[in-house]
């Protein structure tokens, strides 16, 4: 985090004003505000430090909770001779956004932690994609936080109300807002989510306008913005690392690099919730083991035939189910789940509020 932002906007004063965890003697509680390739930036009540992991933490990484993520609270020791902090413990996470590790089939990648609200961002230009929105919503539900869909670049859309109606049908009870940073339309609807002390994480593909959104909320350009490609309306990766940004009103915004690949990890419950209509149809089939492939009394096939269920939506549901099966058994037999994953999953489920 830029040190001038700390001075100009009172980040240290903010940290001192919130309730930090009780710490053992010799340790300080800190929050991870930025994550780089091999180090972290943390803020304590006494200042900002570059941080590294202790040898013991690295040796017992899975048992510690994996690598710290932006938003995490950690216990650190601060070296008196320099501005380096050493991370010794990861404190319990209240919310986590995670995805399948693209390099390791049975592993997960922690993207962000300890946020109150997830902004699922999608732009109203040619990058608009309902299937991708469904995927982000499934993973956001797994985080344990509140969810908001933010449709950006409303100034480029000829029929905003129609797109709002379509997205609300997909999102269910999740609020959906259309905004434009160009003319400010709809931006006031986002302000309540940034009350002092609240943390919002923004998720979405490259080019949807997450960096432009934080610049508009901040009131000046603090995140680099790149033009999208005109041939396909897709953006470049302007945010290359995760960073927690303090806004003038006291809320915090966690910008993340654009992610097009969102591998599912044990997200069966969230998929069932997202496609509740199809799950209910499946329960109405004559046979409990119906494969929906021509069996008599199949409620899903009947709904497809009479137009109650769209073929595109059902195909997306089947794709999710196939992906969940592969994630469970990526190599022809059940993958060995690590104790690390079990702990993460248990904490998310335990923290989830009713209705999330």
Q: What is the CATH number of the domain that holds 235?
A: 3.40.50.300
Q: Which uninterrupted H or E stretch holds 143?
A: helix 130-143
Does 95 map to a domain? no
Does 173 map to a domain? yes
Nearest residue to 309 via CA among 280, 272, 268: 280
Residue 205 makes CB contacts below 8 A (sequence gap 6+) with 122, 127, 132, 234, 235, 258, 259, 260
Nearest residue to 202 via CA among 270, 262, 259: 259
- Number of structural domains (the chain) is 3
Q: How far apart are CA 189 and CA 175, in angstroms?
A: 10
Write the pLDDT tens digit of every residue in 15-26.
554 555 556 667
How big is the chain, counted in residues?
Answer: 356
Q: Identify whether the C-beta of residue 181 lies closer than 8 Å to the C-beta of residue 219.
A: no
Q: Note whether 238 and 287 are same-domain residues.
A: no
| CATH number for the domain harbouring residue 74 | 2.40.50.140
Q: Note whether 243 and 283 are same-domain residues.
A: no
Whether the pLDDT of residue 134 is over 90: the answer is: no
Q: How far apart are CA 33 and CA 55, in angstroms?
A: 22
Q: Note whether 7 and 71 are same-domain residues.
A: yes
| CATH number for the domain harbouring residue 302 | 1.10.40.50
Does 58 map to a domain? yes
Domain that holds residue 77: 3-90
Instruction: Kindly report the pTM of this predicted structure.
Output: 0.73
Query: What integer pLDDT is reported at residue 225 of this predicted model?
Result: 44
Whether the pLDDT of residue 178 is over 80: the answer is: yes
Q: Identify whether the C-beta of residue 65 lies closer than 8 Å to the C-beta of residue 90.
A: yes
Whether the pLDDT of residue 283 is over 60: the answer is: yes
Query: What integer pLDDT is reported at residue 179 of this predicted model?
Result: 92
Token digits of residue 150:
């933010």
Whether the pLDDT of residue 150 is over 90: the answer is: yes
Q: Note whether 215 and 130 are same-domain residues.
A: yes
Residue 291 makes CB contacts below 8 A (sequence gap 6+) with none
């Amino acid at each position: 985090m830029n040190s001038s932002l700390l001075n100009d906007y009172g980040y240290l004063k903010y940290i001192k004003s919130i309730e930090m965890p009780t710490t053992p003697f010799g340790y300080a509680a800190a929050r991870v505000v930025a994550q780089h390739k091999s180090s972290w930036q943390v803020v304590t009540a006494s200042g900002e430090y570059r941080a590294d992991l202790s040898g013991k933490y690295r040796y017992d990484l899975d048992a510690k909770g994996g690598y710290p993520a932006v938003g995490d609270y950690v216990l650190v020791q601060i070296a008196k001779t320099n501005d380096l902090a050493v991370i010794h413990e990861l404190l319990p996470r209240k919310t986590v956004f995670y995805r399948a590790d693209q390099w390791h089939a049975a592993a997960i990648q922690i993207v962000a932690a300890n946020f109150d609200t997830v902004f699922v961002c999608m732009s109203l230009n040619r990058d608009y994609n309902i299937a991708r929105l469904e995927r982000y919503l499934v993973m956001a539900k797994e985080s344990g936080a509140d969810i908001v869909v933010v449709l950006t670049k409303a100034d480029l859309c000829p029929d905003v109300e129609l797109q709002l109606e379509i997205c609300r049908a997909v999102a269910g009870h999740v609020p959906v807002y259309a905004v434009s940073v160009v003319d400010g339309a709809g931006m006031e609807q986002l302000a309540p989510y940034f009350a002092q002390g609240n943390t919002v994480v923004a998720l979405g593909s490259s080019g949807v306008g997450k960096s432009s959104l934080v610049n508009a909320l901040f009131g000046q350009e603090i995140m680099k913005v790149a033009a999208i490609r005109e041939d396909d309306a897709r953006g470049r990766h302007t945010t290359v690392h995760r960073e927690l940004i303090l806004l003038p009103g006291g809320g915090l915004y966690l910008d993340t690099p654009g992610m097009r690949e969102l591998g599912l990890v044990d997200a069966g419950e969230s998929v069932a919730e997202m496609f509740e209509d199809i799950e209910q149809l499946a329960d109405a089939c004559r046979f409990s083991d119906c494969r929906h492939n021509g069996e008599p009394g199949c409620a899903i096939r009947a709904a497809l035939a009479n137009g109650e269920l769209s073929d595109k939506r059902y195909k997306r549901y089947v794709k999710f189910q196939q992906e969940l099966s592969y994630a469970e058994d990526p190599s022809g037999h059940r993958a060995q789940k690590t104790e690390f994953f079990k702990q993460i999953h248990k904490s998310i489920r335990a923290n989830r509020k009713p209705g999330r």
